[in-house]
Amino acid sequence: MVDVAASFEKAVIPHAYNGSNNWVVSGEKTESGLPLLADDPHLGLATPSIWMQMHLQTKDLNVSGVIFAGVPGIILGHNDKIAWGVTNTGPDVQQLYLEKRNPDNPNEFLFEGEWEEATIIDEPIRVKDGGTLDYQVVETRHGPIVSEFAEESGKDTVMSLRWTALDATTELEAILEMNRASDWEEFEKGLEKFLVPAQNFVFASKDGTVAYKANGKIPIYENSEDALLPLPGWESEYILEDYIPFDELPSVVNPEKGFIATANNKIASDKYPYHISNVWAQPYRYERIAEVLESNDSLTAEDMMDLQMDQMNLQAREFVPIFLGVLEEAMLTDSESAAVSLLEDWDYIDQVDAAQPLIFHHWMDEVEVILYQNLPDGVMGLFNSRGQTTDEILRNAASGNSSIWFDDNGGLESVLHLSLQHTIEKLTEEYGDDMLTWEWGEYHQVQFPHPLSAVHPVLAYFFNHEDSLPVGGSSVTSMAAAYDTETGEVDHGASWRFVIDMGEPTTGYHIVGPGQEGHFRSEWYHDQMDDWVEGTYHKTKLDTDKGQTLQLVP
């Protein structure tokens, strides 16, 4: 038997679900009387930026936004009539299959009682200053065999990967149609060709329309539980060949409440007839965005920028009163009591120069250490989205319900007291005895490191910004700034911030961190790093004749 978790211990694990934010606001709730749109897709933070900002103009096209280098169209942005932005839907579009290999022929796999020949694709790997590796990809009817990359791999039973991204798709055609669209009908028609990755698109237009659609190829599971574990590849009933019809994907146009927002939260009700995902981001970013948008009927582009930089921590606002209430009768040390007093006076903003965010986030981490201490290391390494699980366990225990997670660790009060004790001990050792001098930004800092900087300190000197910058926010705030809990390094957040008022559709407001240029000697290499931390946007215009023009002639 193969220990799957142990086998993949050295695999590269993507960043935990920190996701993205986007929203659109109807003209009924704006100062200009026309829609506002905001988008900040969250990705790994590094140099150079994943995005390149571009203004693309032809005889029949005038569009601005961001691209991946080499893409001949604007992926996210606006023209003079519409604007759009995305967040990740997070659907189940990858499925592992168990495959039974013929012991007499390693290129044959069982399907419906017969051995079926796999497709063998030669993929030679040329090695600098070395020979060429004669590598071959083995593909079953479901997809490539991937378990060979584990530490251990069964000889007769292996795993293959079915993934929609491995199919030929039509995103480039979709992008070009979206760039030329002038209204929701034309935009949605182009969106039908945007198949991978599945995204939550929000849309605003000069005609006053605001809309939302989850696009893409999302497999139809007859039983949503089937999406949780590898499926038997030798049975035809488990083939995923049907996808949610485009017209039945989640969609909203001009809602009565006057806005649409997504933040990788659950996008469909339990009554929705199809399975999309079992894993969603914690709801705090969405709830904060909705809270702000609901509270104002005269919103401006400046308000949208402020909301993208908002550091209100709704997780703390929920759990700090619960934690302090549970510990009200506990026998606390002087330092623990001092920490409690600070948290009692907190406004729940993850402010860069405040001590409370430092205490709260470390406290939550220590709670998880205690709750999950008996889980195998291999399991913890794959338990990336445990935040919402921890939240639910805490809510359940705080409501007085019995929970094995707390019962096995002495109860809720014991867990909270012990985790607070560990928190204060660690922070005191690192930052000193005077809590009034503690600051979130001493720990929580952003660098945007260049990949080559890890090779040698000399390369780090040339390619990295000279200093890490203290920054507010966290993984649960609208201003997303997720971080490595060991070092405090902010490594995941808004790769691009964008705001537009359709009352002035030729003007956009942007931040591309850490800069637009990838050459370390360029003045634009890290020139937006401070802007990213402070929320200083730059303005672009579709109707400007300033700047230099790169003209491509066939």
The predicted pLDDT at position 417 comes to 98
Task: Quickly state the pLDDT bin for 209 (edges 50, 70, 90).
Answer: very high
Q: How far is 89 from 258, CA to CA, in rounded Å?
A: 22
Q: What is the set of domains in the chain, with CATH numbers?
A: 4-10+93-166 (2.30.120.10), 21-90+172-308 (3.60.20.10), 314-438 (1.10.1400.10)
Q: Which of 7-21, 29-43, 355-369, 503-517 has the lowest mean pLDDT?
A: 7-21
Residue 529 half-sphere exposure toward CB, CA atoms < 13 A: 24
Q: How far is 172 from 414, CA to CA, in rounded Å?
A: 56
pLDDT in tens, 293-309: 999 999 999 999 999 99
Q: Which tokens sit at 86?
A: 């995305």
Task: Indicate whether 170 pLDDT > 80.
Answer: yes
The predicted pLDDT at position 487 comes to 96
pLDDT in tens, 44-53: 999 999 999 9
Q: Which tokens sit at 315?
A: 């997780």
The predicted pLDDT at position 279 comes to 87
Of residues 447 and 155, more confidence is placed in 447
| Contact indicator for 368, 389 with CB cutoff of 8 Å | no
Task: Indicate whether 171 pLDDT > 60.
Answer: yes
pLDDT in tens, 337-386: 999 999 999 999 999 999 999 999 999 999 999 999 988 877 777 777 78
| Contact indicator for 342, 355 with CB cutoff of 8 Å | yes
Angle at which helix 284-294 crosses helix 314-326, to 10 degrees, equals 110
Determine the residue type at 217: K
Task: Quickly state the pLDDT bin for 224 (edges 50, 70, 90).
Answer: confident
The predicted pLDDT at position 1 comes to 44
Share of the chain above pLDDT 90, in %: 86
Q: How far is 206 from 233, CA to CA, in rounded Å?
A: 50
pLDDT in tens, 93-143: 999 999 999 999 999 999 999 999 999 999 999 998 889 999 999 999 999
Q: Which tokens sit at 546?
A: 């300033």
DSSP state, residue 373: T
The predicted pLDDT at position 3 comes to 54
Task: Quickly state the pLDDT bin for 15 (edges 50, 70, 90).
Answer: low
Determine the residue type at 255: P
The predicted pLDDT at position 2 comes to 47
Of residues 148 and 430, more confidence is placed in 430
Cα 455 to Cα 414, 451, 458, distances in angstroms: 44, 8, 9
Cβ neighbours of residue 420 under 8 Å, at least 6 residues apart? 323, 327, 332, 336, 339, 363, 366
DSSP state, residue 14: P
Question: Which among 162, 124, 125 has a CA at the least distance from the CA of 143?
Answer: 162
Task: Indicate whether 532 pLDDT > 90.
Answer: yes
Cα 434 to Cα 63, 431, 487, distances in angstroms: 54, 8, 21
Going along 103-198, which residue ranges are E strands? 105-111, 114-117, 119-122, 125-126, 132-133, 136-139, 157-163
Determine the residue type at 464: N
50 CB-contact burial (10 Å; exposed 0-12 / middle 13-18 / buried 19+): middle
Q: Which residues pair with 446 in a beta bridge?
A: 469, 490
Q: How far is 16 from 492, CA to CA, in rounded Å?
A: 9
SS (H, E, C) 408-459: CCCCHHHHHHHHHHHHHHHHHHHHCCCHHHCCHHHHCEECCCCHHHHCCHHH
Task: Quickly state the pLDDT bin for 14 (edges 50, 70, 90).
Answer: low
Chain mean pLDDT for the chain: 93
Determine the average pLDDT of the residues in 239-244. 95
Task: Mark 112-141 as b/e (b = at least 16 C-beta within 10 Å).
Answer: eeeebebeeeeeeeeeeeeeeeeeeebebb
Cis check: omega of the bond before 283, within 30 degrees of 0? no
Q: How far is 480 from 295, CA to CA, in rounded Å?
A: 21
Share of the chain above pLDDT 70, in %: 96
Q: Which residues pair with 541 in a beta bridge?
A: 507
